[in-house]
Amino acid sequence: MKARQLRTRIIAYFVGISLFISILFGFVCFLFAYTIEDHLFNVILKDEAAYVSKQLSVGNIPQPRLEFIQYLENKERLPEFIKNTLVEAPGAREFSSEGDKHYHLMWLDQGLLLAEVSEQLVVRKIKLGMFNFMLVALCIVLVVAILLAYLSLAMAKKLLTPLDKLVDIVAQAPVEKLPQNFSDQFVNDEIGGFARTLEQALDRIRQFIDREQAFTRDASHELRTPIAVTQGALTLLKQEMLNDKQRALVERAAAAQEQMAQSVEILLALAREETIQQTDVTLLPIVESCVLQQVHKIADKDITVDIDIPKEATISLGESPLSLILSNLIGNAFSHVNQGLVTVRFSHNTLSIIDTGEGIPEDIQARIFESGVKSDSSSGLGMGLSIVHRLCQRLDIDLSLDSSEHGTAFHLTCVSC
């Protein structure tokens, strides 16, 4: 379909340009013919003027040699319509009257010459023939233009066949395996040079992907092992006789360890482009758990936390990804508010985390979800919101931001819920 549209456009361009040039050429031809005709009459009148002036100089009664030219002693002998025209336009030299009469006028030192050139207007007599001839020529030009367009298409198709082949090689390659060793089948021309450059670029991408996959495998193994060891140690520690303070510290460590385990699983799933399990979960307990995990950030601050979520509210995201998202957003809110209110609200399928902090600077709001972007007042690495944004994209969550000097609000709307 696209190839047909391209072919139609190329033919239309050829025909349009040819039509424009032909019409312009026809206009110029008519203009040239009329100009030459007027110039010819002026030359004839100048020649007759020289002849009449010579007769006047020897005292003879001037008599023009051409029948359509008259010598008049003064302008009073001019036809009435010419005199009226000269009153309005004294510099006029050409005149047309009713009855399809056409006149040329030339002033002499004594008298004037008036030429009635109606019968000598050759262009007027043959203009219909000129128009018909140009119409036939235009048709021929259009036919030639269409033929040239088809020849150009055939030539372009022949020249672009290697490029189409290169496109097919890249398009048909599986996602998990980039094409390689394909540039040798192309000749050493511009397309061949492009194929070699593309192959080198794909090789660099493949090497990068291999390094990332190796890192993911290593991270999966190296992180899971200490997490499992820590989990076992905490389980054994809980069985010991502990006082209240020690038990609170163990519970906090266990919660942090569980959060780390969930985060590792989600981040590894993101890195591997694996499917993240999404199940219906009750929202309120997860929000409360995330608030408790981050509560140490507001221990010395005058901050009120308002959780406005119905007890029966559920959302189809899964506990682990939702906990990771909320931990980052609630933790950010707690970090950037020294005094005020942090609200977590769920309404109309939208979960909002709202704070009354200083807000995000306008110059970075458009880039706030990019990795490493953060405000000057932030003590973090600028990675949390980037992880949240990528995770929301994977889970089909609409993530929006409203921020001003009065505070910041993040809104999460589950599109597929």
End-to-end CA distance of the chain: 37
Domain-by-domain residue ranges, the chain? 2-139, 176-274, 275-414
Strands 101-107 and 94-97: antiparallel
List CB contacts of 354: < 8 A, sequence separation 6 or more.
333, 341, 342, 343, 344, 345, 407, 408, 409, 410
List CB contacts of 273: < 8 A, sequence separation 6 or more.
none
Q: Do domains 176-274 and 275-414 have the same CATH topology?
A: no
What fold does the segment set 176-274 form as a domain?
Helix Hairpins (1.10.287)
Q: Does domain 275-414 have CATH number 3.30.43.10?
A: no
From first to last of the 417 residues of the chain, give the pLDDT tens digit: 444 566 677 777 878 888 888 888 888 888 888 888 888 888 888 998 888 888 888 778 788 888 888 888 888 888 888 888 888 888 888 888 777 788 888 888 888 888 888 888 888 778 788 888 888 888 888 888 888 877 877 777 777 677 778 878 877 777 667 777 888 888 787 778 888 888 888 888 888 877 776 776 676 667 777 777 787 887 888 788 888 888 878 877 877 777 677 667 766 666 665 566 677 888 999 899 888 888 888 888 888 999 999 988 888 877 878 888 888 899 888 888 888 899 999 988 899 999 998 888 888 888 888 877 777 666 665 677 888 888 888 888 899 999 888 899 999 988 766
Give the CA radius of gyration of the chain.
Answer: 45
> Which residue matches tokens 């932030």?
378
The predicted structure's pLDDT at residue 2: 45
* Whole-angstrom distance, CA of residue 41 vs CA of residue 6: 53
Structure tokens at 289: 């758990």
Q: What is the pTM of this model?
A: 0.49
The predicted structure's pLDDT at residue 184: 82
Taking the mean position of all CA atoms in its chain, how far away is CA 196?
29
CB 368 within 8 A of CB 385: yes
